């Protein structure tokens, strides 16, 4: 009888621990892995930004929708961020006594994730010497604000597939 009670107690404890682990897994802590990214009102790149997150910021993911994560920041802001900007690893910004420097931009990290880097670009340029990259370089420097993008969409009566023209 004592063994039965002991087994029942262990079973209940195991179930409680498993339930707590499942509950904790529904909302997980992540780190921002890009230099900066926008926290948006809805899950779309064209949605209005409500805050800016920086490399190493910790956020709690409360839900996901496609490639987007709804997060809560430690400063109390809530919004959507593209999941590619997040890492499950805790990013520590201090190296010894000095703050670690971040050198990669959002674009560089996105391209690196797709297999591009300066070596790949250099090899491509060697193999395609007749291509003029001046316009590509100029496009990389262009910046379109969220307000300009919203105006463009409204004037053209464009509704993006992802939504978020809010």
Provide the total of helices (H) and of strands (E) in the chain, helices listed first.
Answer: 5, 9
Compute the distance between CA of residue 60 and CA of residue 69 in angstroms, rounded to an integer. 9
Q: Is 15 domain-assigned? A: no
In-domain check, residue 65:
yes
Q: Is 11 a member of any domain?
A: no
Q: What is the DSSP string of 72-128?
A: EETTS-EEEEEGGGEESSPPP-EETTEEPPP---HHHHHHHHTT--HHHHHHHHHHT
Check: pTM over 0.75? Answer yes or no.
Answer: no
- pLDDT value of position 107: 66
Domain CATH number, residue 62: 2.30.30.40
Counting every residue written for the chain, the total comes to: 166
10 lies in a domain? Answer: no
Q: What is the pLDDT of residues 44-72, one digit of tens each?
A: 888 888 999 999 999 999 999 999 999 99
The answer as to whether 3 is a domain residue is no
Could you tell me the residue range of the domain that residue 100 belongs to?
27-155
Domains held by the chain: number: 1
Task: Name the 3-class secondary structure at 33.
Answer: coil
Burial class (CB in 10 A: 0-12, 13-18, 19+), 114: exposed
Low-confidence ranges of the chain (pLDDT < 70): 1-27, 93-116, 161-166
Residue 148, C-beta contacts closer than 8 angstroms, at least 6 positions apart: none
Q: Is residue 119 part of a domain?
A: yes
User: Is residue 124 a part of any domain in this protein?
Assistant: yes
The reply to whether 52 falls in a domain is: yes
């Amino acid at each position: 009888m004592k063994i039965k009670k002991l087994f029942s107690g262990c079973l209940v404890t195991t179930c409680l621990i498993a339930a707590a682990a499942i509950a904790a897994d529904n909302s997980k802590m992540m780190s921002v892995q890009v230099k900066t990214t926008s926290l948006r009102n809805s899950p779309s790149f064209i949605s209005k930004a409500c805050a800016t997150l920086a490399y190493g910021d910790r956020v709690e993911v409360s839900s996901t929708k496609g490639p987007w994560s709804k997060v809560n920041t430690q400063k109390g802001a809530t919004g959507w961020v593209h999941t590619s900007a997040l890492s499950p690893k805790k990013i520590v910004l201090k190296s010894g006594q000095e703050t670690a420097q971040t050198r990669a931009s959002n674009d560089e990290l996105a391209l690196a994730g797709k297999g591009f880097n300066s070596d790949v670009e250099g090899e491509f340029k060697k193999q395609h010497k007749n291509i003029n990259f001046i316009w590509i370089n100029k496009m990389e420097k262009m910046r379109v604000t969220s307000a300009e993008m919203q105006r463009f969409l409204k004037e053209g009566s464009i509704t993006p597939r992802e939504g978020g023209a809010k």
